[in-house]
Structure 1
Amino acid sequence: MNPILYSNIIGKGKPLCILHGFLGMSDNWKTLGNQYANNGFEVHLIDQRNHGRSFWSEEFNYDLLAEDLLLYLNEKNIERTALIGHSMGGKTVMQFACSYPQKTEKLLVADIAPRFYPPHHQDIINALTQLDFDLINTRGDADEQLEKHLKNFGVRQFLLKNLYRTKNGTFGFRMNLGVLSKKMEEIGENISSSESYNGPTLFLKGSKSEYVTDADTAQIKSHFPKAQIEVIDDAGHWLHAENPDQFFEKSFRFLKQME
């Protein structure tokens, strides 16, 4: 029996599953999740494997992550769902929509394209692996250690959301850092399916982000013929956190459009 992904379910209405990015967790989407829930959706904020409160596994690739989502939907008796995925989560929902189009109502991909990205998080992995938990008694202690390697305050705060107190009172990280640091190539992989998803699709990209460029349009359209591509102003890769109002406005307009 395969383990089922952890989720936080809020609201009532049409199902909407939201998948976080690399080193993130479902809590990252709580504010926007509540907005969707207040507007007629049953929102499933999901932790992907090796992240948040979901199970740990040595195996990690997008086919498996898509299969995890399928098992989750079957467990929850969800026939079809709208999907939102950011970054790594965007790759998962793209793979899912291509592999299981019959389960996909609508697809929204946040700031990622269906191509290969070279590993580019090594500085973050290095900083996290160098943390000495014996010297960490508070979040402030952890932040102080991280600051020696990562100067960006926002990035540090994002990573520190993973910090939690273990049963023996020490601090630890919820994500499976050992496996994720070994799977950097897989995290950058393009979606493996040559199939396409022909349903309603929206790509949202940050105006200051280089993750989705004009050069990606042809590949996006080859997998997702109905894809629209829109820009979130004054936002980088973390577009949903940097401009949440516009992200909600554009995403909600897309989600509520009738077929």
Structure 2
Amino acid sequence: MLLNYKQTGSGPNLILMHGLFGSLENLNVIAKTLSEHFTVYNVDLRNHGQSFHSDDMSYPHMAGDIKALLEHLNIDKAHVVGHSMGGKVAMQFASSFNHHVNKLVVLDIAPVTYPPRHDEIIVGLNKVSAHTNVLNRTQADEILSEHIEIPGVRQFLLKSLAKNAAGALSWRFNLPVIANAYSNIVANITSASPCQCDTLFIKGNNSDYILAEHREAIVKAFPKATAKVIHGVGHWLHAEKPAAVNKSILDFLQ
């Protein structure tokens, strides 16, 4: 099965991948700018957005989805850009299929295993699913607010709440599989050897997803890696300062 994607722009090919609980819509602010210089394929990763659902949720599986999409599109090489979980998919793809990657851009994630940090989010999402009488996003937000304090995080999640075929509100992402496979999502990528592609890691300086202690793991997996720090932003750096993030990506790719 092929991933759902949105194609825009013209020029060299570029694959764009969102993070956990997101969809391709989350990266439209990046896709719009990059499509002025590249043919951008903004994708919904498996179990997210309008892409297929599967019980298999691991980085090798998700990297395989990207390879299948490239084969379907008759693309031999592309730039690869990913945020958060999508950044790990990008790293896994570059590590497994180095010869299909021109340059790699990773937004605020490192090639390491993280401790769980979405437990309360998953509890809140499950509570919304359990309420059969949720009629709108406002009601869903009230339920989520019991577990998720930050309004911006709730609003991000609620973008994936939509009417299903039966006319009821449900999550577009495959919550049961994501919850069951969560240990795979926080796990490190699998890499047999260092990836020699040119790589840029972009960090939000207020984020704790890339830390000084991760430097050794980054250099070991991606010896040609360089880093850029966007000041005044956290993990959602592309939403907080899109112009700075887009400029960093374009300067590196061009």
Return the match for 2:196 from 195, 198, 208: 198
- Any unmatched runs of 5+ in structure 1? none
For residues 217 and 174 of structure 1, the distance between their equivalents in structure 2, rounded to whole angstroms, comes to: 35
Residue number among 53, 56, 59 corresponding to 1:59 in the alignment? 56
Alignment-derived partner of residue 118 in structure 2: 121
Please tell me the residue identity of whatever aligns with 1:62.
Y
Structure 1 residue identity aligned to 2:115: P
Secondary structure of the 2:132 match is: helix
- Whole-Å separation in 2 of the counterparts to 1:157 and 1:44: 25
**Counterparts of 1:36 and 1:25 in 2: how far apart (Å)?**
17
Q: Any conservation in 2 of the 1:61–1:186 contact (CA below 8 Å)?
A: yes
Aligned to 2:13: 15
**Residues 133 and 170, structure 1, Cα contact 8 Å, conserved in 2:** no
- What is the 5 A alignment of 1:80-99? 80-99=77-96
Is the CA contact 1:220–1:227 (under 8 Å) kept in the aligned structure 2?
Answer: yes
Partner residue in 1 for 2:177: 179
Give the aligned residue type for 1:32.
I
Of 239, 243, 246, the residue aligned with 1:245 is 243
Letter of the structure 2 residue corresponding to residue 167 of structure 1: A
Per the TM alignment, residue 145 of structure 1 is displaced from its structure 2 partner at its CA by: 1.8
Q: Deviations over 1:72-102 (max 9, x none)?
A: 1000111100011111111111111011111
Whether the 8 Å CA contact 1:135–1:141 is kept in 2: the answer is no
- Contact 1:112–1:212 (Cα < 8 Å) also in 2: yes
Structure 2: gaps spanning 5 or more residues? none
Q: Distance in 1 between matches of 2:88 and 2:194?
A: 13
The secondary structure found in structure 1 opposite 2:176 is helix
Aligned amino acid, residue 223 of structure 1: A
* TM-score, normalised by the number of residues in structure 1: 0.95
- Which residue does 2:2 correspond to in 1? 4
Matched-pair identity in %: 39
- Report runs of 4+ in structure 1 exceeding 3 Å deviation: none
The CA distance in 1 between the partners of 2:141 and 2:239, in whole Å, is: 20
Query: What amino acid does structure 2 have at the position aligned with 1:197?
Result: C
**Alpha-carbon distance, 1:137 to partner:** 1.5
RMSD: 1.0
CA distance in 1 between counterparts of 2:13 and 2:119 reads 35
